[in-house]
Amino acid sequence: MGIGKNKPEGHADGAGVTPADAAPLPNPKPQSQIPALRLAVLASGRGSNLQALLDARRDGLPLEFVLVASDKADAPALRRAEAAGIATLALDPAAYPDRAAFDADLFARVAAHAPDLVVLAGFMRVIDAAALAPWAGRIINIHPSLLPKYRGLRTHERALAAGDAVHGASVHYVSAKLDGGPVIAQAEIPVQAGDTPAMLAERLLVQEHRLLTATVALIAAGRIALVDDGVRLDGARLAAPLRLDADGRLAGA
Ligand code: GRF
């Protein structure tokens, strides 16, 4: 993951040291003994960010996917989850009297799986404040802009129309305000001459995957928390969002 402190103690650091001259490791914690972060992922479509998290788990990130849920029964994200043997849920908003009723039922079902963290990964709905309230500090979203710029839709098109030299993506805690909660981390890409919205989206998506997995890795390591509406890293309030560097590390972490 490129996050040094997420490495289990006593794992790679002892490489090249023979047992005879190795000092006893203080409290060694093999990755298998780090409790896995229980994740529920909500997605409306393709699910490439979900896939990035699945790939990170395959590569050793301590995650346990307890549920993948969608508001679209035909979302490819659900097929990815099924292929990975993860419980899925599809609920049709049209079957509910209003948004509040849908969100109340969706989040009651999510809660039944007792996730530590809910990840909105391309979940294309604004969530009712009452349904969100119990999840404060335990629900994050990935959004394809450098928030607070370009909340909502068509972010790539809007960045181009504004003549921005730099575009990017943000992972933030979810609040009742659209794309409005405290930002944890961001990834930037340069806008290039001749870029179309589709070209920007394609290049940014690669960075989104790295950004989301790196951020979830920090949360799994217990290093990130939302306190009094501010993001803390290792207990210290972040003055600005963490930045993804060229190696996929979150600078400042
Ligand atoms: C991503 O661009 C994400 O930032 C946005 O919706 C898109 C979802 O893509 N919220 P995918 O379904 O994860 O492939």
CATH number at residue 79: 3.40.50.170
8 Å CB contact between 46 and 18? no
Burial (CB count <10 Å: 0-12, 13-18, 19+), residue 141:
buried
pLDDT level of residue 163 (50, 70, 90 thresholds): very high
Instruction: Quote the pLDDT of residue 33.
Output: 60
Q: Is position 222 within any domain?
A: yes
Question: What are the residues facing 189 on neighbouring strands?
Answer: 167
Name all residues whose Cβ lies below 6 A of ligand 1. 43, 45-49, 121-122, 142-144, 169, 205, 208
Q: pLDDT tens digit string along 85-94?
A: 999 999 999 9
Average pLDDT over residues 182-208: 98
**pLDDT on residue 31:** 54
Residue 141 lies in a domain: yes
Task: State the pLDDT confidence band at 228, using cuts at 50, 70 and 90.
Answer: confident
Average pLDDT of span 224-252: 93
Q: In testing the pocket of ligand 1, which one of 80, 206, 208, 213 has its CB within 8 Å of the most ligand atoms?
A: 208
Does 68 fall in a domain? yes
Distance CA 36, CA 91 (A): 27
Is residue 100 in a domain?
yes
How many domains, the chain?
A: 1
Q: What is the pLDDT of residue 30?
A: 56
- 229 located within any domain: yes
Structural domain that includes position 78: 34-251
Q: What is the mean pLDDT of the chain?
A: 89
Which DSSP helix (H) or strand (E) runs through 118?
Answer: strand 117-120
In a domain, 158, yes or no: yes
pLDDT band at 152 (very low <50, low <70, confident <90, very high): very high
Q: Specify the ligand 1 atom closest to the Cα of 121.
A: 13
Q: Which residues are catalytic?
A: 143
Give the list of residues 6+ apart from residue 129 with CB closer than 8 angstroms, or none.
176
Looking at the CA of residue 43, tell me the nearest atom of ligand 1.
12
The predicted pLDDT at position 3 comes to: 35
Q: What is the pLDDT of residues 13-49, one digit of tens each?
A: 333 333 333 333 444 455 556 689 999 999 999 999 9
Q: Which of 78, 138, 76 is nearest to 107 (CA)?
A: 138
The pLDDT of residue 197 is above 90: yes
16 within some domain:
no
Note whether residue 3 is domain-resident: no
pLDDT, mean of residues 175-195: 94
